[in-house]
Structure 1
């Protein structure tokens, strides 16, 4: 029963993703005429199907989340028609062909005891570690001081997305909160493709959708992004804005699903 539910959720997610990508492509990008009688700003289902060389009915089934087994050439054609970026193309293939995803062993989901040593070695740069659900599973003292502490027993403080959307202190901490929060959602969607229906991921998504209108709206946008190396601006105690270079690391030997976020103050 759980496998059937996960499969149905995957198909629905594929359909939502295809529709969101279709609606953002201007017809003019494919040389199609635009006019006041068009039903939508983006491509129509029939146009996507024609451009991809597939049946309009079959493409409609894909968007409706009905049972289908798109081949690699079909997914590639759809990615070209929808003008997908590389990370979006990969996301499409993972949704369309989940059997290509590597199997995740249960032991890989547990925090590695060597994390504490790794995070300590990154001092004096603030650093914390996340599991696949983006729960905080480790941090150094500098990160605790910078981000107001971490509490695995507190649902509002144990998860990065929850902190961003439910913790007023974190919303005030990031000078560019809108940019950071939107990017975080897009990265989380890309990182969790194929297992969003599993309990640990649902335990993050369901409360956030119910408690944060901002999160629910942005999650519905279906965006995916790669994890960037960029700068983040944090607001200090006196209101000063401090810029940090931000790095997301995947350390070898401490669990396949563990990532480490490192902040290095500029200047």
Structure 2
């Protein structure tokens, strides 16, 4: 979206939020002659401690830019969920405050159960900084996720650029890495105040000239989905169709699913049945 479209989307988002909240939800009287569904504009302004005319212009998509403190006040007044808070900040053109960035990413137990049900299809979940958050045994067998790769043990980007097995196992490592960086740059732009991104990027620049070279490019993000051919040290050549899905309740978390082609699926099943010890 351009700036004008983003401001209009922000106004529409605020109006929908305002309409969804009952005055009783925020401790305001309803009154007998109330015609407005949800809260009135002046009530939101009062709860957020901002001027009613200024808030009206914000809903109208006028060319004004709310500060981080104003956005936090609106998020509190409208009782936003974490996902709604993220959407509010993104529409306002702001990165999330540091105290949100530091929050520990958690996985719903049902997600782990889903990953387990996907075996022998390798599948894992990554978070906002591309850290592995959960995986199934098929993904462990193919990608050896739990193996130490200090100092960023469970980060996919770190593994891609520092683990020789990942490099040697990818049929098209250079192209895949470029696409990863383009996607990762977009994720980083959403959390400009998160120092952990800077530490990861600085460490990658220090140990990988390839990352440094690719990071200097500013390519548009391209899909990572599609056909993948990997070389496994025990299983040999593995072929997959790859797809990435986002969780609606937390778009910073994504599940990567590798659907093995027929021969690969048979070998993976046998490998897992033997406990990863032999073919």
Q: TM-score range by the shorter chain?
A: 0.5 to 0.7
Matches within 5 A, 1:1-267: 99-100=92-93, 103=96, 105=100, 110-114=105-109, 115-151=111-147, 154-237=150-233, 240-253=236-249, 255-267=250-262
Q: Give the total of aligned pairs.
A: 172
5+ residue gaps in structure 1?
1-70, 72-96
Given that 2:122 and 2:136 are in contact with CA atoms closer than 8 Å, whether structure 1 keeps it comes out as yes
1:118–1:152 CA distance, 2 compared to 1 (3 A):
farther
Matched residues in 1 for 2:127 and 2:183: separation? 14
Contact residue 98 and residue 194 of structure 1 kept, 8 A: no
Q: 1:167 to 1:107 in 2, by over 3 A?
A: closer
In structure 2, distance between residues paired with 1:252 and 1:169: 33
Q: Which runs of 5+ in 2 are unaligned?
A: 1-62, 64-89, 263-279
Cross-structure match for 2:34: none
Distance 1:265 1:187 in 2: 24
Q: Which has the larger radius of gyration?
A: 2
Deviations 1:104-154 (A, max 9, x none): 855975122323122112222101111101111111000000012325784
Decide whether aligned partners of structure 1 residues 100 and 113 sit closer, same or farther in structure 2, where only a CA change above 3 A counts: same
With the length of structure 1 as denominator, give the TM-score of the two structures.
0.57
Give the 3 Å change call, closer, same or farther, for CA 204–224 of structure 1 in structure 2: farther
User: Which structure would you say has the larger RCO, counting Cα contacts within 8 Å and 6 or more residues apart?
Assistant: 1
Cα distance change, pair 166–139 in 1 and its aligned pair in 2 (3 A): same
